């Protein structure tokens, strides 16, 4: 069983569209994250959720919004996509915010 799963793995879409990436973890962890890895492979945290409460928002544009229906899911919604949003987006989870982080396989987003 995949511990952290995210869908879709690949997404190609046009500028201005709205898209979502889903994430689910079956580890029973309390904290989930979204990371963005840019073309230079630099990984930067976007959001983290702990027990359905947002505890980090790293100054990402408000076009990006995390949605957590329950502690096993943290979906990423992106409105009005821009070319610069093209990147790999990783979902992750940990037991709490100071423990080992488990990553999903990534979602490759290309905005054309």
Partner 1 sequence: KQEVTQIPAALSVPEGENLVLNCSFTDSAIYNLQWFRQDPGKGLTSLLLIQSSQREQTSGRLNASLDKSSGRSTLYIAASQPGDSATYLCAVFYSSASKIIFGSGTRLSIRP
Nearest residue to 67 (alpha-carbon basis) of 103, 18, 15: 18
Residue 42, interface with partner 1 (CB under 8 A)? yes
Residue 87, interface with partner 1 (CB under 8 A)? no
Nearest residue to 46 (alpha-carbon basis) of 83, 73, 85, 10: 85
**Closest separation between CB of residue 60 and partner 1, Å?**
14
CA diameter of the chain: 37
The residue among 79 and 102 lying less far from partner 1, judged by its C-beta, is: 102
- Site residues (CB under 8 A) for partner 1, limited to 51-70: 55-56
Q: Which residues bind partner 1 (CB under 8 A)?
A: 4, 33, 40-45, 48, 55-56, 90, 92, 97-106
């Amino acid at each position: 069983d995949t511990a952290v799963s995210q869908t879709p793995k690949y997404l190609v879409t046009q500028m201005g569209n709205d898209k979502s990436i889903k994430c689910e973890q079956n580890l029973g962890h309390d904290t989930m994250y979204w990371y963005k890895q840019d073309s230079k492979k630099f990984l930067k945290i976007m959001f983290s959720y702990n027990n359905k409460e947002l505890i980090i928002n790293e100054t990402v544009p408000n076009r990006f919004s995390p949605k957590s229906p329950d502690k096993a899911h943290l979906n990423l919604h992106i409105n009005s996509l821009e070319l610069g949003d093209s990147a790999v987006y990783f979902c992750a989870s940990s037991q709490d915010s100071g423990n080992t982080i488990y990553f999903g396989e990534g979602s490759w987003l290309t905005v054309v």
